[in-house]
């Protein structure tokens, strides 16, 4: 489909009876060359899906039609959403949602991976949209966003600058931000009073040790609550501030704006009291080695069991909440098996001499901070196979609606998903999941 000219965009607005709203932050891109360039920054392939938030008249969308596997459009204005739905009603590769990008259920997007994000985001709520859809965990492999230039500068800001703050750190903890190009007011209708800018966001996959993102966010908010104050007056009482400074090798009078992202992560790790924050697994753990009938024949270390493919024991637990959603965890990239993949709510090996039910109770507490008074309900047994890593697996289920607390070295993120969304995600992208989870899901998934 050809690029849309400014005249054609105004005609679409007239036909939809849309008078651009300043309150809704509606400034429509009318420069076809700029639209073409912005979409090119996605570096799309035919196997990609793209989620575009704020498509408006479709000035960016037209450059994606027929070039990607799936295009998901999320538009807040009901008249424009209706016009887009009508325009693409006969195209099965286009899915239009009349929804607020700041409130859209991002869990509905994981099944579309491999997925990229595109957004000419409204000035009025661009930050809220980013927080909702681009915060950890998210399903995107790349994002191209356009916002007011001053916001893009804040996203990419460096320590010691006036733009560096909470937004910079929240974003850079998850993304590498590269500002690309300024977009002048004349590229829009109606013309805004300020410049816009485009940035490319790439997921941050290396360079930082594992850390508790929720604690990181809390400490950053504390650190910038009163920007000019020294951090020692805004941090928790324990451990002592002097100990923290000695560990980080920073001055006791340092301010939040002076710390790099890496130092903020180190600060978070110093305040993290979780006993397993540094331990993705212990190679020296001792497991019972068993035969095909699950009878103990000896013991071996974790490393030996995995290297020699010895039969051993494990538990998986599916945790559901009152809505029937299932908790999934994303395994840390430091794990020796299935790093970075999505897995059962809780799973783990039995220690030597431990029984299955006791291991299930222990793993619930260690991995997710879920305390139970009695063992969860056993629902299935799976014989050792390649998929389970040669483990005798007993599958359990339990219900829980409280807070979660997990070790960052073991678990990158945790999220509740509807059963139907997990089914669709597995059907489209089984490679996103640990093979042991897939074996468990096949025989014991909750009824959605």
Residue 279 has pLDDT above 90, yes or no: no
Total number of domains in the chain: 3
pLDDT digits (tens, 9 = 90+) for 293-326: 999 999 999 999 999 999 999 999 999 999 999 9
281 falls within a domain? no
Mean pLDDT of the chain: 93
CATH number of the domain at 349, please.
Answer: 3.90.79.10
pLDDT of residue 284: 79
CATH number of the domain at 74, please.
Answer: 3.40.50.150
pLDDT digits (tens, 9 = 90+) for 392-430: 999 999 999 999 999 999 999 999 999 999 999 999 999
pLDDT digits (tens, 9 = 90+) for 107-138: 999 999 999 999 999 888 999 999 999 999 99
pLDDT of residue 357: 96
- Report the alpha-carbon distance of residue 108 to residue 92 in Å, rounded: 17
Residue ending a domain, choose from 203, 223, 252 = 203
- Do 39 and 119 fall into the same domain? yes
- Do 74 and 178 fall into the same domain? yes
Residue 1 has pLDDT above 70, yes or no: no
- Do 261 and 191 fall into the same domain? no
pLDDT digits (tens, 9 = 90+) for 229-266: 999 999 999 999 999 999 999 999 999 999 999 999 99
**How many percent of the chain have pLDDT more than 70?**
98
- State the pTM of this model: 0.93
- Do 198 and 217 fall into the same domain? no
- Do 87 and 224 fall into the same domain? no
277 falls within a domain? no
1 falls within a domain? no
280 falls within a domain? no
208 falls within a domain? no
Provide mean pLDDT across the span 326-336.
93
- Do 187 and 58 fall into the same domain? yes
327 falls within a domain? yes
279 falls within a domain? no
Residue ending a domain, choose from 144, 172, 203 = 203
Provide mean pLDDT across the span 44-70.
96
48 falls within a domain? yes
Q: Report the DSSP beta bridge partners of residue 378.
A: 396
Residue 104 has pLDDT above 60, yes or no: yes
CATH number of the domain at 218, please.
Answer: 1.10.8.100
- Do 124 and 253 fall into the same domain? no
Domain residue limits at 306? 286-444
- Do 231 and 189 fall into the same domain? no
pLDDT of residue 3: 76
Residue ending a domain, choose from 170, 203, 236 = 203
- Do 299 and 342 fall into the same domain? yes
- Do 403 and 365 fall into the same domain? yes
Residue 448 — pLDDT band, cuts 50, 70, 90? low
- Do 63 and 99 fall into the same domain? yes
Handedness of CA 106, 112, 116, 117 (dihedral sign): negative
- Do 377 and 294 fall into the same domain? yes
pLDDT of residue 315: 98
């Amino acid at each position: 489909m050809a690029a849309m000219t400014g005249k054609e965009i105004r005609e679409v607005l007239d036909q939809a009876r849309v008078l651009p709203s300043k309150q809704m932050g509606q400034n429509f891109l009318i420069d076809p060359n700029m639209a073409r360039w912005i979409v090119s920054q996605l570096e799309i392939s035919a196997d990609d899906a793209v989620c575009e938030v704020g498509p408006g008249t479709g000035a960016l969308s037209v450059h994606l039609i027929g070039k990607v596997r799936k295009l998901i459009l999320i538009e807040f204005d009901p008249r424009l959403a209706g016009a887009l739905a009508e325009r693409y009603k006969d195209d099965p590769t286009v899915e239009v949602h009349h929804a607020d990008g700041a409130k859209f259920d991002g869990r509905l997007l994981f099944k579309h991976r491999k997925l990229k994000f595109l957004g000419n985001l409204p000035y009025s709520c661009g930050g809220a949209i980013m927080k909702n859809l681009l915060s950890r965990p998210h399903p995107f492999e790349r994002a191209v966003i356009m916002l007011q230039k001053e916001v893009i500068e804040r996203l990419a800001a460096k320590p010691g600058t006036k733009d560096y703050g909470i937004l910079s750190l929240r974003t850079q903890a998850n993304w590498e931000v590269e500002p690309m190009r300024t977009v002048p007011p004349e590229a829009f209708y109606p013309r805004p009073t300020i410049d816009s800018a485009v940035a490319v966001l790439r997921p941050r996959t290396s360079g930082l040790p594992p850390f508790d993102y929720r604690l990181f966010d809390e400490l950053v908010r504390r650190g910038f609550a009163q920007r000019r104050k020294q951090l020692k007056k805004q941090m928790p009482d324990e451990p002592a501030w002097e100990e923290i400074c000695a560990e980080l090798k920073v001055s006791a009078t340092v301010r939040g704006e002076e710390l790099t992202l890496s130092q903020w992560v180190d600060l978070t790790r110093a305040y993290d009291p979780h006993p397993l924050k540094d331990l993705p697994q212990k190679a020296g753990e001792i497991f019972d080695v068993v035969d095909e009938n699950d009878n103990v024949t000896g013991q071996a270390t974790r490393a030996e069991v995995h290297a020699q493919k010895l039969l051993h024991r494990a538990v998986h637990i599916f945790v559901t909440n009152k809505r029937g959603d299932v908790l999934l965890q994303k395994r840390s990239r430091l794990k020796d098996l299935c790093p970075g993949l999505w897995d059962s709510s809780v799973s783990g090996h039995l220690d030597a001499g431990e029984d299955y039910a006791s291991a299930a109770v222990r793993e619930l507490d260690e991995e997710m901070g879920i305390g139970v008074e009695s063992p969860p309900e056993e629902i299935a047994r799976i014989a050792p196979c390649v998929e389970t890593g040669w483990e005798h697996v007993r599958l359990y289920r339990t219900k829980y609606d409280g807070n979660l607390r997990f070790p960052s070295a073991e678990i990158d993120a945790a999220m509740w998903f509807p059963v139907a969304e997990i089914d669709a995600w597995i059907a489209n992208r089984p490679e996103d999941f640990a093979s042991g989870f897939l074996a468990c899901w096949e025989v014991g998934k909750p009824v959605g």
